[in-house]
Amino acid sequence: MLRDARIPPRYAKCDLKNFLIYPNEKLQSAVTYARRFADQFPAVTKGLCLIGPPGIGKTHIAVAVLRQVVLEKGARALFYDVRELLKVIRSTYNPVVRTAEMDIIRPVMDAELLVLDDLGSEKPSEWVEEMMNLIVNTRYNERRPTIFTTNYEDTPDEADLDSLKARVGYRMHSRLHEMCEFLEYDGGDYRMLPPNGGPNDLTILWQTNKGRRVLPARARGPARAQLKEHDPLRSLKNPREARELQWPGGKAGRG
């Protein structure tokens, strides 16, 4: 069952017991939520959305929960990096017959627990929006718990093109808030931890890099298309701006 869950080899031994914790209140709170989720599964009402910069352990926590519910509860679970999932779906795309496409999507929608890693990193297009909304809305409607990780902050600033809302769209963002506990935190980069490093080293890394948030290079540009859903009167207020905010298109199979 663990093999079928598609956990990447790098994360194959992730566990909440071997996750190095240091004095970081929000990180500790996120781990507490994760433990509670895994212990109570399947009697959970919400999934988790782990938010923060790269390298702070979001994927480790998500996979650790997935492994625990598979091993202890016998749950059917799946892990997918969002970009990899879309790549796999796109490779099966047939504009006439969508059977092969649904062969990939159906297990994702039906999994008792789904981990979607790196949400928002995908390049926006109409097809990406359609696929992601189909998956998320189906799981939302059928109350199947999902764990998301993302590098994009859940900022209230609607003009911020590097926000989670701008990256995934207003519809999905609203669904996520009802589906998940939002666990946003900062911290030291585990990937920068020296050999045999410990909690003190992580604390130093955290303090040294505090406030230096590094987002993927794609964050700027295509994300502005997501703003088109926010204001239906935008086209009446500024026709030129409305044209600029249209989706760049993009059907499956195109680069």
pLDDT in tens, 66-123: 999 999 999 999 999 999 999 988 887 666 655 566 778 999 999 999 999 999 998 8
Mean pLDDT of residues grouped by 10 in the chain (255 residues)?
A: 94 95 97 97 97 97 98 96 92 64 87 97 86 94 97 86 89 94 96 93 90 52 42 40 34 36
Q: Which residues contact 58 (CB under 8 A, 6 or more apart)?
A: 50, 51, 52, 149, 150
The confidence score (pLDDT) of residue 212 equals 59
The confidence score (pLDDT) of residue 162 equals 86
The confidence score (pLDDT) of residue 229 equals 43
Do residues 174 and 232 make contact, with C-beta atoms less than 8 angstroms apart?
no
The confidence score (pLDDT) of residue 239 equals 42
Do residues 224 and 245 make contact, with C-beta atoms less than 8 angstroms apart?
yes
The confidence score (pLDDT) of residue 211 equals 59
Neighbour count for residue 144 (Cβ, 10 Å): 17
Query: Which pTM does this prediction carry?
Result: 0.81
Burial class (CB in 10 A: 0-12, 13-18, 19+), 218: middle
Q: Would you give the DSSP letter of residue 193?
A: P
Do residues 108 and 137 make contact, with C-beta atoms less than 8 angstroms apart?
no
Q: Would you give the DSSP letter of residue 194?
A: P
